[in-house]
Amino acid sequence: MKLNLILVSLYFVFSQNCLASEYIAYFTKSIDKKTIHHQHTKVRRIFGPHQKFALLESNKSLDDLRAILKKNEYFKHLSINSQINLFNEKELKPILSKQKLKQVIKNKKVNGYWWQENISLKKAHQIYQGDDRMIVAVLDTGVDYRHPDIAENIHTNDNEVPNNGIDDDNNGFIDDFKGYNSYSAGGSAMDDNGHGTHCAGIIAGNGKMTGVAPGVKILPIKFLNNYGQGDIAKAIEGIYYAVKNGAKIISNSYGNPNSNEAFLEAINYAKENDVLFFAAAGNANNDNDLRGEYPANYHLGNVISVGAMNSNLHKSSFSNYGQLSVNLFAPGETITSLDVNSGYKVRSGTSMATPMAAGVAALIWGNSPELEPENVVEILVKTTSKHQSLYPLSQTPGSINAEYGLKNMTSPSKLPIPRSSIMVQEYILNSETPYQNNTNRPYLVSKANVKMMALNFTKIDIENGYDYLQIESTNGKVLKKITGRISGGITDFFPHNELIIRIISDHSTAGQGFEINKIKYVVDKK
């Protein structure tokens, strides 16, 4: 009996070690299966923008397979096809009886719709409510496109005959009548979880429940199953579909703690096509400057990372934050929206804050269609309602305001330091590019006769999770720790006139380091 158990165990271990893994290879030009065929590798499919992505199955290690693929002159990089999940929201769902929820929907009481007043939605809708020229994709678990509060707002592909198993319009996608199901590689994006429907309702609910932009069209894309699980390849296919079918904004309420080069390529494809990519910061109360959450932490200019705030105008206890990595906040706690089977539900999370911010961007852009994507982001950030409690938790200490966004009206800053006391000076300091492996190198920032100082980074590129950039006092106290790629931003004010920026790296991949172009400071008047 013992011998049989040992043999079974050995077989299990051996078989596990021999299981093939899925990888995503990216090439600089369109490819076909023949060009990358190898005896140890199965090409599952060629997919994505310009057919440059290949989903591979191989029992080779990442490094070994990369070495093989390098023989192809058009090969660029190889990534693991990692799993993606919805954020954990189990402890965030407030308990409401069905009768109480019906009262919220009917009377639109503050407990379920506090966010509408907070973002000044009623005044915004007196100006503009969105129109069907603006398509917002919801990349999620799908959308219940039969829900009476959103059915009229679903983008429909009239050239496709539903459920006949044929690509009627020859667009490369089968049965994409009401959005697309990239999880199953075919069919419309009906929701079997509820999460995506809730997010879509926040953006464009247009019935008993009114969303941020009730006039826009929703393009539902299902890349997560009914358990909220998917993978990078399915997300890439979803992004490709969104861009190809006219979406100008993509709402993304999911995450993974690891950066992925293939995923980054897909988001860059969206950027090249002037598409904004809103991403949830995460629900673990983490500092995303120190521990990345992806796709929210990708450093591309079209990625807007969104944290969640509550009705007390504070960061929600669960919400991730990051002075350099999170762009702004939006209401995300106790949010009433749509649910599957024509229902309604209260949810909390950065998953709710993200479509809310995407909805305000849709209002701004739809009302001023001549704007470039970067102008939309600039207005969205500039017109946030400033809250001192959010400083220094994001790049702007504020939350979205639909009325201010449409009016392009800046709200007063509520910084802990009077604006009149803050001075700005050009200060150029760059690290080695790239920095060295196995290094512990300090860089000094010094300004005489000041009592506090903040640093403006134009770039931070540190190997995520392995290398670190530390801001220290001259006596060695660590004031802030950063890892990953961040496009830049201004730090908190530190009560010092000298600061050390230290790069600490291991033996593996080195990033490009950092760049500083100016400092802000407060003069010591003593």
Segment 453-483, tens digit of pLDDT: 999 999 999 998 899 999 999 999 999 999 9
pLDDT cut 70: percent of the chain above it: 91
* pLDDT recorded at residue 40: 77
Which range marks the domain in which residue 70 is found? 18-81
Provide the edge-to-edge strand list for the sheet that holds 53-58. Answer: 41-47, 53-58, 21-27, 75-80
- Residues 108, 232, single domain; the answer is yes
Instruction: Give the amino acid at 59.
Output: N
Task: For residue 494, give the amino acid letter.
Answer: F
pLDDT of amino acid 392: 86
Residue 87 within any structural domain of the chain: no
| Same domain? 315 vs 184 | yes
pLDDT (0 to 100) of residue 254: 97
* Strand order across the beta sheet in which 498-504 lies: 440-446, 498-504, 468-472, 478-482
Mean per-residue pLDDT, 401-427: 87
CA proximity to 488, closest of 521, 462, 450, 453: 462
> Can you tell me the distance from the alpha carbon of 53 to that of 69, in angstroms, rounded to the nearest whole number?
13
Look up residue 254 and give its DSSP letter. -
Q: Do 175 and 57 fall into the same domain?
A: no
The model carries a pTM of: 0.90
224 falls within a domain: yes
pLDDT at 34 (0 to 100): 84
Q: Confidence class of residue 366 from pLDDT cuts 50, 70 and 90?
A: very high
Co-location of 252 and 326 in the same domain? yes
Residues 144 and 169 in one domain: yes
Q: What is the pLDDT of residue 15?
A: 36
Tell me, yes or no, whether 201 and 152 share the same domain. yes
Q: Are residues 361 and 432 in the same domain?
A: no
In contact, 77 and 67? CB cutoff 8 Å? no
The runs of H, that is alpha helices, within 74-205 are 98-107, 110-118, 121-125, 195-204
Asked whether residue 12 is assigned to any structural domain, the reply reads: no
What is the arithmetic mean of pLDDT over 269-291?
A: 96
Q: What is the CATH number of the domain that holds 510?
A: 2.60.120.290
| CA–CA distance, 182 with 82 (Å, rounded to integer) | 16
Q: Which residue numbers are catalytic?
A: 140, 195, 351
Query: Exposed (0-12), middle (13-18) or buried (19+): which is 70, by Cβ within 10 Å?
Result: exposed
Ranking 3-7, 144-148, 239-243 by mean pLDDT, the lowest is 3-7
Residue 70 included in any domain? yes
Segment 441-444 long-range contacts (CB within 8 Å, at least 24 positions apart): 441/502, 441/503, 442/472, 442/500, 442/501, 442/502, 443/500, 443/501, 443/502, 443/503, 444/498, 444/499, 444/500, 444/501
Number of domain units in the chain = 3
In a domain, 215, yes or no: yes
Instruction: Compute the distance between CA of residue 197 and CA of residue 201 in angstroms, rounded to an integer.
Output: 6
Q: With beta carbons less than 8 A apart as the criterion, state whether 373 and 153 touch.
A: no
pLDDT (mean) for 257-274? 96
For residue 412, being part of any structural domain is answered with: no
Determine, yes or no, domain membership for 345.
yes
Binned at pLDDT 50, 70 and 90, residue 35 comes out as confident
Q: Which residues contact 164 (CB under 8 A, 6 or more apart)?
A: 175
* Tokens found for residue 104: 């919220």
- C-alpha dihedral sign at 104, 105, 110, 114: positive
Q: Which of 20-24, 163-167, 409-413 has the lowest mean pLDDT?
A: 409-413
- Mean pLDDT lowest among 94-108, 299-313, 363-377, 385-399: 94-108
